Amino acid sequence: MTMDGLDPQRFLSALLRMGIDRYVSGRQEALTLATLKAQVGACTRCELSRSRRSVVFGEGDEAARLVFVGEAPGEEEDRQGRPFVGRAGKLLDQMIERIGLHRKDVFICNVLKCRPPNNRDPDPAEVDVCKGHLFAQLELIRPHLICTLGKHAYNTLLGVDARITRIRGTLTSYKGTRLLPTYHPSYLLRNQAAIKEAYEDMEKVKTLLAEDRG
């Protein structure tokens, strides 16, 4: 994928937030998810780079119509270098299946690419230096729909400070792309009564994707 069709100002702004101050145009040197992944893998812009085992860039269909965004890798994700592979990941797989899709059909990533110690919440300073990676991923994938998992992903993309219990299931948009927030799978494992609401959100996702095809 090249920059064709992307908004150059938005794209380059995302690169600057990642600490990349030079972009070479041209078919062979244009930024792709693969080159972005290599750049993210070498990132040392915050203290998490000192404690991580792996950089968890994200995975899935690079031309996905649907992107799921969580907050940060956990212990198992840090060990394997893949997003959502623990108990929360299994629940996310079930949520994706409710849409009629499989993991390989979507793209899954997080705001932070490195695990915070003891799975604590992302620190605002860490989000500030890492969010540009997420912005660039979304610019390159250009999904039809974004589903944020938990408050941190939603608040990072929209620049707000909202409670997930107040905004889940409410359709909004991120830079012209429709965005639907739902609960993080880890929250659902602790609050299983909310799984019904999350499944309702997946029905909304299914309907929205079907509308796009129509």
Q: What is the CATH number of domain 8-213?
A: 3.40.470.10
pLDDT at 205 over 80: yes
pLDDT value of residue 214: 61
Distance CA 166, CA 163 (A): 5
Per the model's pLDDT, the better-predicted residue between 118 and 6 turns out to be 118
Measured between alpha carbons, how far is 51 from 61 in angstroms, rounded to an integer? 29
Provide mean pLDDT across the span 48-74: 97
Could you tell me the CA-to-CA distances from 13 to 10, 18, 69, 139, 162 in Å, in that order?
5, 9, 20, 11, 25
User: Where does the pLDDT of residue 87 fall: very low under 50, low under 70, confident under 90, or very high at 90 and above?
Assistant: very high
Q: How far is CA 189 from CA 86, 97, 184, in A?
A: 11, 17, 9
Residue 83: how many CB atoms within 10 A of its CB?
25
Residue 153 has pLDDT above 80, yes or no: yes
Say yes or no to pLDDT of 169 above 60: yes
Q: How far is CA 162 from CA 151, 154, 195, in A?
A: 7, 8, 20
Residue that has been written with the tokens 């059909």 in this structure: 105
Strand segments (E) across the chain: 59-60, 66-70, 107-110, 145-149, 172-174, 177-182
Model confidence pTM above 0.85: yes
**Residue 101, pLDDT above cutoff 50:** yes
Reading the block at residue 103, the tokens are 């993991």
Gap between the Cα atoms of 181 and 69, Å rounded:
9
Q: Which tokens hold the place of 193? A: 């009564």
Q: Based on the number of CB atoms within 10 Å of its own CB, is 104 exposed (0-12), middle (13-18) or buried (19 or more)?
A: exposed
Q: What is the dihedral of CA 20, 181, 150, 19, to 10 degrees?
A: 0
pLDDT of 155 > 80? The answer is yes
Q: What is the largest CA-CA distance in the chain?
A: 52
Whether the predicted pLDDT of 173 surpasses 90: yes
CA 82 to chain CA centroid, Å, is: 12
Strands across the sheet containing 59-60: 59-60, 107-110, 66-70, 145-149, 177-182, 172-174
